[in-house]
Amino acid sequence: MELAARKQKILSAIVESFIRTGEPVGSKTLISEAGLDVSSATVRNEMADLTNRGFLVQPHTSAGRVPTAQAYRYYIDNIMTAPPLSQSGREYIESALYQNADSPESILQGAAELISQLTDLASVASTPSGDDSRVHRISFVQTGSHTAMAVVIASNGIIKTKLFRCEFIITPEILEVFDKALNEVFTGVRLSSINQPFIQTAAARFGELSLFMPGVLTAIMEASKAAREISVCHSGYTRLMFIPDIDFLTARGVLEFLNNEHDLAAMLENLPIDTSVSIGAENSRRELALSSVVSTRYTIDSKPSGVLAVIGPLRMDYSRAISILEAVSETVGALIGELTDIQQ
Amino acid sequence: MELAARKQKILSAIVESFIRTGEPVGSKTLISEAGLDVSSATVRNEMADLTNRGFLVQPHTSAGRVPTAQAYRYYIDNIMTAPPLSQSGREYIESALYQNADSPESILQGAAELISQLTDLASVASTPSGDDSRVHRISFVQTGSHTAMAVVIASNGIIKTKLFRCEFIITPEILEVFDKALNEVFTGVRLSSINQPFIQTAAARFGELSLFMPGVLTAIMEASKAAREISVCHSGYTRLMFIPDIDFLTARGVLEFLNNEHDLAAMLENLPIDTSVSIGAENSRRELALSSVVSTRYTIDSKPSGVLAVIGPLRMDYSRAISILEAVSETVGALIGELTDIQQ
DNA sequence: TTTTAGCACTCTCACTGTTAGAGTGCTAAC
DNA sequence: GTTAGCACTCTAACAGTGAGAGTGCTAAAA
């Protein structure tokens, strides 16, 4: 649905004013702010029409208008632009993220913190899915007389460790046998296929050696599972409680949802590849019916991977959020990509 | 200050009724509930006295009485008992904690979740301080052509890993040289003494070999620091928002404080060794002026170590909280102790 | 046909009363 | 020392009032 130029200009002015002030916008305020060359009565007629068409609502008869989710949608799709960040902004982001560019997890944790700090909203960042990654190598480190650590290095750069325990006394020689035998079986195998049946088949191959292996095989399975699973970094959850638009019950619902990593990961998983904005009821989760989620996926070697997102009120600065997310996304993708390239 | 028997009985009944219902307690309600064999007028006289002495307040003239922090303090010190949990309760806790008794961190994370679930409050659990732990061993795992992982195993059972990068191509032989040379220097050294000067002195010892070492030495230093630092596991923060006594601003302040791991760790560090209750303004943090913290330290080999605590409203079931914390504490201490013994 | 001025209308917000109910403190009698 | 009785106080909930803001509608102007 396209709007006439003047209607669009009025809608735009209302949305921008409301995003800035949070106050319902009246016809008089509007002409003084938007520089329209018509009278307030004309604006009122237009506003009445926009209200009929579902772009605006009045909290009550004698209040100004407030944009609906539909208005934000129209504004974002047809009016708003999100210009790339300035050079200095990008440089700031790069240097901030470069601080702890050790592992994908630490990069993403840093990204979540940075995004939250820059937008003053809650932010989340999910690790790349490891579903089509493979085992690059498995190593072992002795940690005690009966305990050792399995280190699963995945081809996507994720490294997961898991401790295990043996009934017998562990020696460097035993770990070397494990290393040789298990890398023969596991190297190059897709993480997603390392499950209980796979482990059992593998154990069978080792003959009597497998009697020594239940602990280590379980550890490998669990580390592989952890390497495959998406984990979600986050930052700034409490910032949501400082946003005047968000009332207590809404904040509580959103925070409860965000703290449930399982549901959150599932939602992030279903977000589209491109930068996208989900406004209010457009969100798949009922808890977010009064919030907006702006998200984008970072790409590693031009393959869409994990999600970066901010969660905030409907009345947020979408343009700024998108610009920041896209800038951070670019750097995150590059940093993780580098990490993976080097490790291969 | 000791109270006469009847006064104490009345105070006790008021505290218990208020903890249960959250409603100010009036004189009539009280006699019907507490089974007192006196008239409401007598109770009123006693209540007036308790009010003068600072144990009770009235929200307003025509409301019942509400216990003050002083009343909770008196109740906890002189009246309340916290009987040990039943056998089945203890067994439930043991089996729940045994699930992921891999590492101190995973045990403590499990403990925090369990405590939060059982008390319906926010809970935190801090790892043992590593200040007087030593390096048990350092190991290396190759993760890429130019990257490897340093594994610092501390004598307190904490294991920390840190990735590092080298300009040259890493080979198993190089890692072996690192392993030999670095364990000679670091094994048995107190974690707390591994700092920048120590690293520099160490580097000097290696002569020209040290040119290859900046990355690995920094990694060891950071992993040692991480092993030494107290980290705080937590669970159930959003439960605080479901407690009717806690209003929005209070909850926001508490959550903000709890999310600041640095300040939180500092507060936990200063808690006493025994089970203790800090009521309202007794807390060292202003953010907790309207909340209570019940805490205890678990002991490893009969040495007081990290803290387990719950955070909730003044009106909480202190007896239950203490019983649960003490039961969990016992199991946590035993499990971490076992872990450490085995690894040595 | 579109725009505008004017005006009656509606609704909120902040106050002000009013009333029922709960709980108290005080007093005088037990 | 304890109790019955009673006047008193305070809140919560509801209704009423007036100022202020913003609207929709109508009729005239462009």
Contact B251 A241 (CB under 8 A): yes
The two tokens of residue A110 are 């840093």
Which chain A residues touch B343 with a CB distance below 8 Å? 143-145, 147
| Chain A CA closest to residue B256 | A238
- Given this model, what pLDDT does residue A1 score? 62
* Per-residue tokens: A269: 């998983």
pLDDT at residue B344, rounded to an integer = 45
pTM over 0.85: yes
Please say if the pLDDT value at position B11 is more than 80: yes
- Give the Cα separation of B279 and B64 in Å (integer): 22
* CB proximity list for B89: less than 8 A, separation 6 or greater: B327
Asked if the Cβ–Cβ distance from A343 to B242 is below 8 Å, we say: no
Specify the amino acid at residue B223.
A
Among B103, B147, B149, the residue with its CB nearest the CB of A163 is B103
CA distance B100 to chain A (A): 10
Task: Name the nucleotide with the smallest C1'–CA separation from A44.
Answer: D23
Nearby residues of B77 by Cβ (< 8 Å), 6 or more positions away:
none
A251-267 tens-digit pLDDT? 999 999 999 999 999 99
Q: CB of B146 within 8 A of CB of A156? A: no
Q: Which residues contact A240 (CB under 8 A, 6 or more apart)?
A: A121, A122, A246, A251, A254, A255, A311, A312
CB-strand contact A38/D, under 7 Å: no
- Label residue A334 exposed, middle or buried (CB < 10 Å: 0-12, 13-18, 19+): middle
Q: Which residues contact B266 (CB under 8 A, 6 or more apart)?
A: none
Q: Which nucleotides of C are covered by protein (CB under 7 A)?
A: 3-6, 10-12, 21-27
**CA dist., res. B285 & res. B250, Å (int):** 13
- Chain B residues in contact with A235 by the CB 8 A cut-off are none
What is the distance, to the nearest Å, from the Cα of residue A299 to the centroid of all Cα atoms in its chain?
Answer: 13
Helices of type H across chain B: 5-21, 27-34, 40-52, 69-74, 87-98, 104-119, 172-186, 196-205, 214-228, 248-259, 261-269, 318-343
Nearest CA in chain B to A135: B143
Predicted pLDDT of residue B108: 97
Instruction: Report how far residue B10's alpha carbon sits from residue B97's, in angstroms, rounded to the nearest whole number.
Output: 40
- Report all structural domains of chain B as residue ranges with CATH numbers, in order of start: 5-79 (1.10.10.10), 87-129+232-343 (3.30.450.40), 135-228 (3.30.390)
CA B238 to chain centre: 17
What distance in Å separates the CA atoms of residue B36 and residue A35, rounded to the nearest whole number?
76
Taking residues B3-24, what's their average pLDDT? 91
CB spacing of B102 vs A242 below 8 angstroms = no
Separation of alpha carbons A297 and A325, rounded Å: 9
Cβ-based neighbours of A91, under 8 Å, separated by 6 or more? none
C-alpha–C-alpha distance, residues B332 and A185, integer Å: 37
Query: What distance in Å separates the CA atoms of residue A192 and residue A189, rounded to the nearest whole number?
Result: 8
Q: Is residue A343's pLDDT more than 80?
A: no
Task: Output the furthest CA–CA distance in chain B (Å, rounded).
Answer: 91
Q: Is there a contact between A238 and B256 if contact means CB atoms under 8 Å apart?
A: yes
- B122 and B116 Cβ atoms separated by less than 8 Å: yes
Count interface pairs A-B at CB distance under 8 A.
Answer: 75
Give how far Cα A28 sits from Cα of A16, A31, A45, B70, Å.
Answer: 15, 6, 13, 57
Count CA atoms closer than 13 A to A130's CA, side-chain side: 31
Rounded to whole angstroms, the Cα distance separating A134 from A189 reads 5
Q: Which nucleotides of strand D lie under 7 Å from a protein CB?
A: 2-5, 9-11, 20-26
- DSSP characters for B142-175? E-SSSEEEEEEEETTS-EEEEEEE-SSPP-HHHH
The rounded distance, in Å, linking the Cα atoms of B297 and B279 is 18
| Residues of chain A in Cβ contact (below 8 Å) with chain B | 102-103, 137, 139, 141-147, 149, 151, 153, 159, 161-163, 165, 237-238, 241-242, 248, 251-252, 255-256, 259, 342-344
How distant is C1' of D3 from CA of B48, in Å? Answer: 16
Stretch (H or E) spanning A115: helix A104-119
Q: From the alpha carbon of B40, which nucleotide's C1' atom is closest? A: D3
Q: Residue A126: name the closest of A93, A158, A90 by CA.
A: A158
Residue B281 Cα, gap to closest chain A Cα (Å):
23
Q: Could you tell me which residues are beta bridge partners of residue B190?
A: B134
Contact flag B255-A242 (C-beta cutoff 8 Å): no
Which residues, listed in sequence order, are joined to residue B36 by a DSSP beta bridge? Answer: none
The minimum CA-CA distance between A342 and chain B, rounded to whole Å, is: 6
List pLDDT tens digits, range A280-295.
Answer: 999 999 999 999 999 9
Residue A41 has pLDDT above 80, yes or no: yes
pLDDT classification of B252: cutoffs 50, 70, 90: very high
Contact B31, B38 (CB under 8 A): yes
Contacts of B171 (CB under 8 A, 6+ apart): none
Q: Where does the pLDDT of residue A336 fall: very low under 50, low under 70, confident under 90, or very high at 90 and above? A: very high
| Identity of the residue numbered B245 | D
Q: Enumerate residues near strand C (beta carbon within 7 A).
A: A 37-39, 41-42, 45, 59-63; B 24, 26-29, 40-41, 44, 47-48, 51, 58, 61-65
Cβ proximity of A124 and A264 under 8 Å: yes
Which residues does B contribute to its contact with A (CB < 8 Å)? Answer: 102-103, 137, 139, 141-147, 149, 151, 153, 159, 161-163, 165, 237-238, 241-242, 248, 251-252, 255-256, 259, 342-344
A94-110 pLDDT, tens per residue? 999 998 888 899 999 99
What residue spans of B22-126 are helical by DSSP H?
27-34, 40-52, 69-74, 87-98, 104-119
Contact A5, A38 (CB under 8 A): no
DSSP bridge pairs for B151: B139, B161
pLDDT value of residue A116? 98
What are the tens digits of pLDDT across the range A291-328? Answer: 999 999 999 989 999 999 999 999 999 999 999 999 99
In this prediction, residue A344 has a pLDDT band, given cuts at 50, 70 and 90, of very low
Q: pLDDT tens, B181-222? A: 999 999 999 999 999 999 999 888 888 777 778 899 999 999
Provide the residue type at B153 as one letter: I
Q: Does residue B144 surpass a pLDDT of 60?
A: yes
SS3 content of chain B, % helix, strand, coil (to 5): 55, 20, 25
Q: Retrieve residue A288's tokens.
A: 């977010």
* Inter-chain residue contact A151 with B141, CB threshold 8 Å: yes
The sign of the dihedral angle between the CA atoms of A115, A127, B152, B340 is positive
Residues with Cβ < 8 Å from A201, sequence gap 6 or more? none
Provide the 3-class DSSP secondary structure of residue A206. coil
Containing A13, the helix (H) or strand (E) segment is helix A5-21
**Cβ contact (<8 Å) for B151 and A149?**
yes
The torsion defined by the Cα of A125, A130, A135 and A139, in degrees rounded to 10, comes to: 30
